[in-house]
Amino acid sequence: MLNYILETPVEVTTIEFHPNNNDIIIGGCVNGQVIVWDLRSAEHRIVAGGRKIEVAKMPDEETDKTQQAFVRCKHVAISEIAESHKNFVADIQFIPNNIKVDKKNPTQGKSQHFVSVAEDGRLLIWDTRECDKDKIKEREATGKKFVWKPSQPAL
């Protein structure tokens, strides 16, 4: 059964669920950018005609099973294109929680970082705490533009 449609400005080549929060989905895009959706975020749901839930008719099914409710979600964050991969993102993998990535901002035993790889020969490390919808809102309220980029380039 279809529950969500994830809207994106660019084709997605790979996705991964956040290991600590199944409502967060990270995607790698064909142009090298990385994108984040939060399925719980009410302000990122696309509303049509004042409704948050749309109805889709499925032509192959029986008459009593032709309507299905689903939610359209727009992304919470997308990486800055200049700081992203130069080719499509081939894979995304979260770094296990027992590996320390950022000594200045420890993750308290939770997996918050992931790596993305692409055919551009780069492996980038990203911090999911940077693209939290509440932190983005706070930053934009102070007049600062939100720019999501890798926390540190690797190899």
Question: Which tens digits make up the pLDDT trace of 50-81?
Answer: 444 444 444 444 444 555 577 889 999 999 99
Alpha helices in 71-155 (DSSP H): 133-141
Distances (CA, A) of 77 to 52, 132, 137, 153: 20, 8, 11, 19
pLDDT at 49 over 50: no
Whether residue 102 contacts residue 95, with contact meaning beta carbons closer than 8 Å, is answered with no
Give the residue from 115, 113, 114, 123 showing the smallest Cα distance to 86.
123
Give the three-class secondary structure for 100. coil
Chain segment 87-143, per-residue pLDDT in tens: 999 999 998 887 777 666 655 667 788 999 999 999 999 988 888 788 888 877 888
Give the residue from 45, 112, 119 showing the smallest Cα distance to 86.
119
Count up the domains in the chain and report the number: 1
**Domain residue limits at 78:** 4-154
What is the rounded distance in angstroms from the CA atom of residue 99 to the CA atom of residue 23?
23
Distances (CA, A) of 4 to 25, 39, 70, 92, 131: 12, 8, 5, 21, 20
- On the 0-12 / 13-18 / 19+ scale of CB atoms within 10 A, 31 is middle
Q: What pTM value is reported for the model?
A: 0.76
Give the residue from 37, 35, 32 showing the smallest Cα distance to 90.
32
